[in-house]
């Protein structure tokens, strides 16, 4: 008798990670449920910076333009000095787009707006988070996971094939798995508060007491809203008054000004900073994504971005295995994402040290464009290449033309849940079509024209080269035509082995 499952995947937690995974699974036609223990959406600004790599992912998921319309650029920072003067600086170098990188500066969008747009996209795909539904227990065996949910209509016991804990820093799933979460507390506690206030203009991010952890306070106009986000360190122990009166007292004491008046508080929180990374991202049929797997200081704006990218890495692999790819593909999720989180913890912790010294500047590494999986078992490096772009790297964008004469970008070809194979002036006759793989011939009589040579220059390709791009936009391999057998084997291993049957 075949075993019955309520759905293939249960996603626990409808924050940024859970919503991203839900959208990715929905567009792939995977059956899932997305449960959220809160009764209504989270309404705080928290992760307000969407990094360039995440913007690319949001473009693929069909939400980028709405996010850009809802948010805005980061303003300059204004540093107020003790002598009453002030000086302005950029938080990061402003960089214009280049053909390989269409987005080179972060977008500011409060997390509650980011999540609202993700929910809107999910609704278009026919799904909604189930608010007021809490995962309270689970038990797995070789074939599936029995889960216990308490929802608005009572208790429910269902069986699913896979469980994903996208349930945040205090993850129930992580704790139930009894996994180690080693790391350290960083000895810094801070407040974050979304407020309405008068007395400050909205053109700059106002920073007071930069070099003094007792007095630092920053007031950032939140793009897409009339709010400011207040951030500042507070003593490790004791209550912090996050009311209008309490915040006004803190602002007056730290800025030395009485003309800044908080008039209302829409969300506020005090939190201790930790840098921790879970021992394992997968235990059998249960995965952890996002803050459930890693927690870190907010410096550098990495948390939400890393969480979204975890989900984006896992989504296509779950769908592929459900469609018949070998199960080991799912082991590459931890293999690829855990080292990224380890590096991100180091980065955000070192930026916290900079912040303590009053040095507030973000470099290229915070943009996450150089994240890649060169050492992954899913990456095959075959050619001795001296070009910048190697297997495992993020697949760069490039302007191209369709054979019909229209302007396009490589990202248009990558957009969607499929793999993409670029045959650069190569004969694609030997490779039959198959489900889940889009093959494009770039060249003189190809469907895509490299009219300005951008693909050739960015990817450093010559006639007869092939580039295989994963569904999540990373280069699986770059091969010469003579190595089609390697490509064939690889496609089979990732579940793309079956050419479509030719109909008589
Ligand atoms: C104060 C603060 C400031 C931050 N600033 C930044 C920043 O500037 N830039 C940045 O990139 N990141 C920032 N972050 C981090 C960012 O907010 C997180 O990394 C991001 O929210 C992680 O998303 P997530 O989906 O993994 O987890 P969460 O957003 O925490 O979502 C987890 C969800 O799971 C739900 N849940 C928990 N348990 C259960 C259960 N048993 N059943 C059902 N549902 C459950 C929770 O209610 C929650 O909605 C900040 C975080 C904090 C706290």
Six-digit token string for 495: 């579940």
Phi/psi region, residue 154 (left: phi>0; alpha: psi -120 to 50; beta: rest), is left
Q: How far is the CA of 309 from the centre of ligand 1 (A)?
A: 14
- pLDDT at position 170, please? 96
What is the enclosing helix (H) or strand (E) of 146?
strand 145-151
- Ligand 1 atom nearest to 192, measured from its CA: 1
Q: Whose CA is nearest to atom 23 of ligand 1?
A: 16
Q: For the chain, list residues with pLDDT below 70.
A: 1, 300-301, 352, 355-356, 358-362, 383-384, 386-387, 498-504
Identify the sign of the CA torsion 393, 398, 401, 402.
positive
Q: How much distance in Å is there from the Cα of 14 to the middle of ligand 1? A: 9
Ligand 1 center from residue 170 Cα (angstroms): 9
Q: Do the Cβ atoms of 417 and 485 come closer than 8 Å?
A: no
Residue 116, CB-side half-sphere exposure with 13 Å CA sphere: 14
Whole-number pLDDT of residue 135: 98
The answer to whether 420 and 413 are in contact (CB under 8 A) is: yes
Q: Is the CB of 340 under 6 A from ligand 1?
A: no
Question: What is the per-residue pLDDT for 119?
Answer: 98
Q: What totals of helices (H) and strands (E) does the chain contain, helices first?
A: 11, 27
How far is CA 15 from its chain centroid?
Answer: 11
Contact call for residues 244 and 67 (beta carbons, < 8 A):
no
Residue 114 CA to residue 122 CA, distance in Å, equals 12
Q: Check residue 307 and give its pLDDT.
A: 97
Distance, CA of 333 to CA of 325 (rounded, Å): 14
Atom of ligand 1 nearest to the CA of 42: 49
Contacts of 2 by beta carbon, 8 Å cutoff, 6+ apart: none
Q: What sign for the dihedral angle of Cα 408, 412, 414, 420? A: negative
- What sections of 392-447 are H helices per DSSP? 410-414
3-state secondary structure (DSSP) of residue 72 = strand
For the chain, domains (ranges, CATH) are 7-73+95-183+275-367 (3.50.50.60), 185-274 (3.30.9.10), 380-493 (3.40.30.120)
**Ligand 1 midpoint to CA 375 (Å):** 29
Structure tokens given for 149: 């949910």
* Amino acid 502: pLDDT: 47
Best residue among 291, 341, 368 to mutate for probing ligand 1, ranked by most atoms within 8 Å of CB: 291
List the residue whose alpha carbon is closest to atom 6 of ligand 1. Answer: 47
Q: How far apart are CA 53 and CA 430, in angstroms?
A: 34
Task: Using DSSP bridges, classify how beta strands 475-480 and 380-381 pair: parallel, antiparallel or unpaired.
Answer: parallel
172 CA closest ligand 1 atom index: 41
Q: Where are the alpha helices (DSSP H) in 224-276?
A: 244-255
For a mutational test of ligand 1's pocket, the pick from 167, 337, 347, i.e. the residue with the most ligand atoms closer than 8 A to its C-beta, is 167
Please list, in sequence order, all residues whose beta carbon lies within 8 angstroms of the beta carbon of residue 451, skipping any fewer than 6 positions away. Answer: 400, 401
Which of 47, 156, 312 best tests ligand 1's pocket when mutated (most atoms within 8 Å of CB)? 47
251 three-class SS: helix
Which two tokens mark 449?
């024209």
Compute the distance from residue 144 Cα to the ligand 1 centre, in Å. Answer: 27
Helix (H) or strand (E) holding 488: helix 484-493
| d(C-alpha 137, C-alpha 147), whole Å | 6
Q: What is the phi-psi region of residue 285: left when phi exceeds 0, alpha when psi lies from -120 to 50, beta otherwise? A: alpha
- Residue nearest atom 13 of ligand 1, based on CA coordinates: 47
What are the distances in angstroms from CA 172 to CA 46, 178, 179, 194? 21, 10, 11, 27
Beta partners for 205?
Answer: 77
Which structure tokens are listed for 467?
């580039």
Q: How many angstroms from the chain centroid is the CA of residue 133?
A: 24
Report residue 481 as tokens. 């035509």
In short, whether 12's Cβ falls inside 6 Å of ligand 1 is yes
Structure tokens at 249: 């007292």
Q: Are the CB atoms for 17 and 289 separated by under 8 Å?
A: yes
The DSSP-derived string for 386-414 is: -SS--TTSB----EEEETTS-EEEHHHHH
Residues 387, 399: Cα–Cα separation, whole Å = 19
Q: Which two three-digit tokens encode residue 83? A: 């002598």
Tokens of 484: 């089609």
- Nearest to 9, CA basis, from 139, 144, 138: 144
pLDDT for res 433: 87
Residue 271 CA to residue 282 CA, distance in Å, equals: 28
User: Which of these, 458, 392, 372, lies nearest to 100 by C-alpha position?
Assistant: 458
Rounded to whole angstroms, the Cα distance separating 200 from 260 reads 7
Q: Three-state DSSP class for 419?
A: strand
Indicate which residue's Cα is closest to atom 35 of ligand 1.
13
Residue 46: CB atoms within 10 Å: 21
Q: What CA–CA distance (Å, rounded) separates 454 from 459?
A: 8
Q: What pLDDT, on the 0 to 100 scale, is given for residue 361?
A: 63
């Amino acid at each position: 008798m075949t075993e019955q499952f309520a759905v293939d995947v249960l996603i626990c937690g409808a924050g940024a990670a859970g919503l991203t995974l839900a959208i990715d699974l929905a567009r792939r036609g995977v059956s899932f449920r997305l449960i959220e223990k809160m009764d209504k959406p989270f309404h705080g600004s928290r992760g307000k910076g969407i990094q360039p790599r995440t913007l690319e992912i949001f473009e693929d998921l069909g939400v980028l333009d709405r996010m850009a319309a809802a948010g805005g650029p980061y303003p300059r920072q204004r540093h107020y000095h003790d002598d009453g003067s002030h000086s302005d600086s950029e938080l990061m170098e402003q960089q214009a787009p280049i053909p390989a990188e269409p987005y080179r500066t972060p977008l500011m969008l409060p997390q509650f707006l980011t999540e609202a747009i993700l929910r809107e996209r999910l609704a278009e795909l026919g799904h909604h988070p189930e608010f007021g539904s809490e995962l309270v227990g689970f038990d797995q065996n070789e074939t599936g996971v029995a889960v216990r949910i308490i929802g608005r209509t009572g208790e429910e016991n269902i069986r699913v094939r896979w469980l994903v804990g996208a349930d945040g820093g205090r993850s129930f799933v992580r704790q139930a798995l009894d996994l180690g979460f080693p790391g350290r507390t960083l000895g810094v506690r801070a407040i974050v508060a979304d407020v309405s206030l008068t007395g400050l203009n909205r053109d700059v991010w106002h920073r007071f007491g930069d070099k003094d952890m007792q007095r630092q306070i920053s007031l950032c106009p939140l793009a897409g809203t009339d709010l400011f986000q207040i951030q500042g360190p507070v003593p490790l122990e004791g209550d912090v008054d996050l009311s209008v009166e309490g915040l006004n007292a803190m602002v007056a004491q730290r800025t030395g000004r009485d003309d800044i008046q908080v008039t209302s508080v829409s969300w506020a929180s005090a939190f201790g900073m930790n840098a921790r990374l879970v021992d394992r991202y997968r235990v059998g049929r249960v995965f952890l994504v996002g803050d459930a797997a890693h927690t870190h200081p907010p410096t550098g704006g990495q948390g939400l971005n890393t969480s979204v990218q975890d989900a984006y890495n896992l989504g296509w692999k779950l769908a592929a295995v459900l469609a018949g790819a070998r199960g080991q593909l799912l082991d590459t999720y931890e293999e690829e994402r855990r080292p990224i989180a380890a590096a991100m913890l180091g980065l955000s912790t070192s930026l916290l040290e900079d912040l303590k010294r009053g040095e507030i500047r973000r470099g290229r590494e915070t943009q996450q464009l150089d994240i890649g999986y060169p050492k992954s078992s899913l990456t095959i490096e075959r050619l001795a290449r001296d070009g910048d772009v190697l297997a495992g790297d993020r697949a760069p964008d490039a302007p191209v033309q369709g054979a019909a004469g229209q302007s396009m970008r490589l990202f248009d070809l990558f957009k969607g849940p499929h793999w993409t194979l670029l045959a650069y002036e190569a004969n694609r006759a030997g490779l039959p079509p198959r489900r889940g793989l889009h093959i494009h011939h770039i060249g003189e009589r190809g469907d895509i024209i490299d009219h300005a040579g951008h693909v050739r220059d960015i990817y450093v390709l010559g006639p007869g080269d092939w580039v295989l791009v994963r569904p999540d936009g990373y280069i699986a391999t770059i091969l010469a035509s003579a190595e089609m057998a390697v490509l064939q084997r690889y496609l089979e291993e990732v579940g793309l082995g079956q050419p479509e049957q030719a109909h008589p």
